[in-house]
Amino acid sequence: MSTNPNTDDFFATVATKSDSGALRGDYSQADANYVVAQNWDSYTPAQHALWRRLYERQARLIPGRACDVFIDSLKALDVSQGIPRFDRTTEALYKATGWQLVAVPGLVPDHTFFEHLANRRFPVTVWLREEHEFDYIVEPDLFHDFFGHVPLLFNPVFANHLQEYGKGGLKALKLDGLAYLARLYWYTIEFGLIQSKEGLRIYGAGILSSGGEVEYCLSSDQPRRVPFEVERIMRTLYKIDTYQETYFVIKDFEQLFNDTAPDFTPLYERLKQQEALPANTLLPGETSFAPNR
């Protein structure tokens, strides 16, 4: 068995996903699972300072906007003062939910990503954005992966859902269902909203790590906020370079887990016979949650 990843097909795929087709990160030291050493000692004082500024900005924005589970876990992680060590976080995370963090050089192939999730391993990018990317970055970096995703891995229900998503991803690859499953990930794990007694709250990592979308998704009159429904989500296109035009709202993490538990095979076949919906669609009879005030 080779100890190095075969990147030929992967690089060709990524070339269609970004403006330049260029991958960030050093893949030369990755093993067959695209895992690398974090090399925490190699981060510079400037990078730790940038992490602190990113953390401080988001920490000011999320109270009253992020879900309580996220805020509580983020505080417990205690990573405000510099780039975290993945091994230390893994010690606590494994005790809580049996998950581990694995360092990766950047984006990884779909099959590899799903394999990691299915085995309760969450890939975290080792490189941090540069100063000029403070407000916007195309590819997910260390801050997005860790700050946005890791806190919710301490929640057992959410953690179990993510593992099942990984298993479902491996199956979707064989059923030509990846596009539909990608939409589910996008509108939940990355850009999901959740109900609370105090109003709508955020659990999606793409929002929680964003300087502008945290407020926009909850307070703006422009986007639609639609009740969570799996088939509806899988039909809906999304945009990667603007704020979302539609957000999907779950009642709780139990709904996310239970509603995504059934076999998607017949759903994929049905979706292949339907046209995709534009990102800003509101279907007849569909309600949209009012913005928080």
Span 187-238, pLDDT tens digits: 999 999 999 999 999 999 999 999 999 999 999 999 999 999 999 999 999 9
135 has a pLDDT exceeding 80 = yes
Identify the bridge partners of residue 136 per DSSP, sorted by sequence position: none
Distance, in Å, from the CA atom of 54 to the CA atom of 143, rounded to the nearest integer, reads 8
Per-residue pLDDT band at 241 (split at 50, 70, 90): confident
Contact yes or no for 5/31 (Cβ under 8 A):
yes
Number of domains in the chain: 1
pLDDT the model gives residue 293: 84
- Asked whether residue 73 carries a pLDDT value surpassing 80, the answer given is yes
Q: Is residue 174 part of a domain?
A: yes
Residue-number span of the structural domain to which 168 is assigned: 8-271
- Are 75 and 92 contacting, i.e. CB atoms less than 8 angstroms apart? no
Between CA 118 and CA 100 the distance in angstroms is 12
Q: Tell whether 286 is covered by a domain.
A: no
In a domain, 198, yes or no: yes
Whether 10 shows a pLDDT value over 70: the answer reads no
In a domain, 183, yes or no: yes
State the pTM of this model.
0.93
Residue 197 lies in a domain: yes
What CATH number is associated with residue 240? 1.10.800.10
Tell me whether residue 2 is in a domain. no
Angle at CA of residue 145, ends 192 and 160, nearest 5°: 60
pLDDT, position 4: 46
Q: Is residue 215 in some structural domain? A: yes
Closest by CA to 240, choosing from 138, 133, 142, is 138
Residue 195 inside a domain? The answer is yes
